[in-house]
Amino acid sequence: MHFFVDGGGYDGLTSANFIKKSPSYKAIYYFEPFLDSMNLSIEKLKMYDNIRYFQFGLWNENETLNFKSNLGNANKISSEGDISINVVKLSDCSIEKVDFIKLDIEGAELNAIEGAKELI
């Protein structure tokens, strides 16, 4: 039984694919900082059990960061960002165990891994 972290879940597709490949998974920890995407994901994944949703981005500290959101697929954390997002250290999220981590978090992957070092 596997524990999966979906960092930057967006629309839930990666978690759904993980469930297909590992139907006896133990838990999915789903991170998505944007409310619209989170709501879409919750709706798409509602038929599955043991998914814990966190409306945060992943980072190496617990804080609020600026995010430049009008760049299409080049969106990123930036001091010139037009919106703010809350980010957390994965190690601080009361996660039982991690077997697999998927990160699609707009260039913040290294920071997120640093914030997960106590779980890895």
**Which residue in the block uniquely carries the two structure tokens 């990160």?**
103
Residue 77: the pLDDT is: 83
H-helix or E-strand containing 114? helix 109-114
At 78 the pLDDT is 85
C-alpha to C-alpha distance for 63 and 72, rounded to whole angstroms: 24
Where does the pLDDT of residue 72 fall: very low under 50, low under 70, confident under 90, or very high at 90 and above?
low
Strands 63-68 vs 83-89: parallel, antiparallel or unpaired: antiparallel
Reply yes or no on whether the pLDDT at 31 is more than 80.
Answer: yes
Is the confidence at residue 52, as pLDDT, over 70? Answer: yes
Q: Is the pLDDT of residue 71 over 70?
A: no
User: What is the rounded CA–CA span in Å between residue 26 and residue 68?
Assistant: 35
Q: Is the pLDDT of residue 45 over 70?
A: yes
Q: Sort 72 into a burial class: Cβ within 10 Å, 0-12 / 13-18 / 19+.
A: exposed
Q: Is the pLDDT of residue 74 over 70?
A: no
pLDDT at 16 over 80: yes
pLDDT of 38 higher than 90? yes
Task: Count CB neighbours of 115 within 10 A.
Answer: 22
| CB-neighbour burial class of residue 70 (10 A; exposed 0-12, middle 13-18, buried 19+) | exposed
Identify the pLDDT of residue 69. Answer: 80
d(CA 16, CA 45): 7
